[in-house]
Amino acid sequence: MTRRALLGAFAATTVAAAPTFASAAGFLRGAGDIRRIKMFSGRTGERIDMIYWIEGDYVADAVKEVNHFMRDWRTDGIKSIDLRTIDIMAAAHNLMDVNEPYMLLSGYRSPKTNAMLRSKSRGVAKNSLHMRGQAADVRLASRSVNQMAKAAVACRGGGVGRYSGSNFVHMDCGQVRSWGG
């Protein structure tokens, strides 16, 4: 059986265990044998729903697909996404007990894209973790910004920003902190 067939078989099943969060480095401890990420992009029309971690190992092909999916759609630039960010997103998703995929608004941002966005909004950091592949901006139709942020904060794995006016939550694997309203 190929790895792709194995992933397909796993994706057809729903395995979710409530993770426990002991420390910033320990999120998703006790999360079971698999980790899954579900997202779609309104910008590109792409969707992913995949198992990216099985029994203690990241699945290289799945990680490559996540990196491609979370690329800077403006420049088509791809950067390796820090797997801690994906883990935080997956853990928060599990805590919210939703089946709906995240809508990805922003994953990796090239320096050029970040500078352009910064020139249009004061909410864009000059040295954004998006440029390092360590952050994602996401939304869920079925959950409020506050519900999403509370789940992400519970992971204690990095930064969580509430952007209620724009209806999204920023999650990153940087220093543990939170902001916004």
Residue-level pLDDT at 133? 97
Sheet holding 102-106, edge to edge: 57-58, 47-54, 34-40, 102-106, 135-139, 168-172, 159-163, 177-180
pLDDT, tens digit (0-9, with 9 covering 90-100), for 80-118: 999 999 999 999 999 999 999 999 999 999 999 999 998
Residue-level pLDDT at 32? 59
What's the pTM value of the predicted model, to 2 decimals?
A: 0.81
Q: Please list the ranges in the chain whose pLDDT falls under 50.
A: 1-27
Residue-level pLDDT at 33? 81
In the chain, what are the domains? 3-180 (3.30.1380.10)
**Alpha carbon distance, N-terminus to C-terminus of the chain:** 48
Enclosing H/E stretch for 153: helix 145-154
Give me 92's structure tokens.
Answer: 């928060």
Residue-level pLDDT at 30? 52
**What residue ranges in 21-111 does DSSP mark as E strands?**
34-40, 47-54, 57-58, 102-106
Q: What is the DSSP letter of 178?
A: E
